Amino acid sequence: MELVRIERFYLGCLAHASYAVVSEGVAAIIDPQRDVDLYLAAAAQGGWRIEHIIETHLHADFVSGHLELPERTGARIYLGAGSGADFPHHAVEDGDEIRFGCCRMRFLQTPGHTLESVCVVMTDEGQPDRPPTVFTGDTLFVGDVGRPDLSPTHTPQQLAAMLYRSLHEKLLTLPEATEIFPAHGAGSLCGRQMSSESSSTIGKQRQSNYALLARTEEEFVSLLTDNLPARPEYFAREVDLNRRGAAPLAQLPPLVPLPPREVLRRQEQGAVVVDTRPAMEFAVAHVPGSIHIALTGQYASWAARVLGLDTRIIITGEDAEHVRESQVRLARVGIENVAGYVEDGVAGWIQSGLELDYIPQITVQDFAELRQKEDVRVLDVREGGELSTGVIDGSIWIPLGELQARAGELERDKLVVVHCKGGYRSSIATSLLRRAGFRDVANLTGGFDAWQIAWNSGAMSATA
């Protein structure tokens, strides 16, 4: 008999996991995403009431639905003491508990990722032999720990030291069989080496998590803070928004179609066209000056990093549903200044007789031959942790998140062939370079993965 049930909700575009813990018709929602209808639908289908909303910390990489859920359910919000949150909530400390049905949820204060971070230890009192479960937020991930640079008052070294003590004095004292459920998975900006696995155990992480293998606090602090990737600029804004609480998504205005010439006029006034179609469709034909961020990948996260939260945006999409989904995903990270969408998309642009742009795509085989004939620049926009898998000889490394600030390091009179791991980020990069005035830009199709496969198969010569 299942006395306590855990339901996981995973949002791939933000690598974000939230949870419902249910017992005897009552539920607690942990780290909810902004569009809360999925929790309400699950509650209606399962016949349970949402009475508790738990935030493990004030999130920096997405907008939470913690304010709308209580407004629609009457639930109580729980957040770690010292958060400074403006909305009504219960500030929890070590040992505070929530009980409903057979479920007992005990809070642990685990500062380090943020000062107010908490983890939640869940015990099924109806099954005393069942190991406890701990919801670790951004304190402990599968394969990683939270980044320690989100405080305006503490240095990364100070936060890392706090995190070390939170892990070793609290989480690692739990039984080895304790299952952990973190708030993020692979691809999140809140860590560097997260696994794609949805859960693990304290024992497994003790043996395999690189951060937990540090032998001393000093080694741990150095491990986390040396070569720490730059914190995205929008993170601080996101925390402030979550501290206040975001408005319901239903309050977003409906998007309006904008005729092509009106789009052109607004571009001249500073608006940015964001093309959300697949990479090949963008490459073949797009509105000049567009930034390409495909809806199929981590769209919202990259939009926030590349555009910030205040840029006026006009969307190019495949259809009305595609455009609406784009708007919702942008709102999940707090981007709400969306003016509308290109009426009838690229087809409408063509019918208006306006000029289109395109970006060449080049296969690894053609690229290898081209390098032997011409002086080509290779730009690698992967993250630093990915370089251990190999690099293309002679490439220039600028992570995508730094490209706009560092584009001046590239030569404008040379062909720049851009690659990432598989092609998603490099397509974004080529659009940023084209917008910055680089005319000779090409995207390496299949990215480094395709290059490595061709190299290992002997399809390219040693001089390539």
Give me the residue spans of the domains in the chain: 5-244, 252-351, 361-456
- pTM, rounded to two decimals: 0.90
**What are the tokens at 68?**
């709308």
| Beta carbons of 442 and 418 less than 8 angstroms apart | yes
Secondary structure in 3-state letters for the chain: CCCCEEEEEEEHHHCEEEEEEEECCEEEEECCECCCHHHHHHHHHHCCEEEEEEECCCCCCCCECCCHHHHHHCCEEEEECCCCCCCCCEEECCCCEEEECCEEEEEEECCCCCCCCEEEEEEECCCCCCCCEEEEECCEECCEECCCCCCCCCCHHHHHHHHHHHHHHCHHHCCCCCEEEECECCCCCCCCCCCCCCCEEHHHHHHHCHHHHCCCHHHHHHHHHCCCCCCCCHHHHHHHHHHHCCCCHHHCCCCEEECHHHHHHHHHCCCEEEECCCHHHHHHCECCCCEECCCCCCHHHHHHHHHCCCCCEEEECCCHHHHHHHHHHHHCCCCCCEEEEECCHHHHHHHCCCCCECCCEECHHHHHHHHHHCCEEEEECCCHHHHHHCCCCCCEECCHHHHHHHHHHCCCCCEEEEECCCCHHHHHHHHHHHHCCCCCEEEECCHHHHHHHHHHCCCCCCCC
At the second CATH level, the architecture of 361-456 is 3-Layer(aba) Sandwich (3.40)
What is the spatial distance between Cα 71 and Cα 143, in angstroms, rounded to a whole number?
36
| pLDDT at position 463 | 42
For the structural domain made of 5-244, what CATH number should be given?
3.60.15.10
b/e sequence 97-123, b meaning 16+ C-beta within 10 Å: ebebbbbbbbbbbbbbbbbbbbbbbbb
Confidence of residue 2 (pLDDT cuts 50, 70, 90): low
In the predicted structure, residue 461 carries a pLDDT above the cut 80: no
Q: Please give the Cα distance from 338 to 276 (Å, whole number).
A: 13
332 Cβ contact partners less than 8 Å away, ≥ 6 residues apart? 11, 13, 14, 33, 34, 35, 62, 63, 300
Residue 1 in this model has a pLDDT that exceeds 70? no
441 close to 411: Cβ distance less than 8 angstroms: no
Residue pLDDT, tens place only, 326-379: 999 999 999 999 999 999 999 999 999 999 999 999 999 999 999 888 889 999
CA distance 111 to 206: 19
Share of the chain above pLDDT 90, in %: 86
pLDDT for 462: 42
Whether 5-244 and 361-456 share one fold: the answer is no
C-alpha dist (Å) from residue 94 to 28, 97, 175, 180, 202: 19, 9, 18, 18, 19
pLDDT of the residue at 189: 81
Say which CATH topology domain 252-351 has: Oxidized Rhodanese; domain 1 (3.40.250)
pLDDT digit string, tens, across residues 53-86: 999 999 999 999 999 999 999 999 999 999 999 9
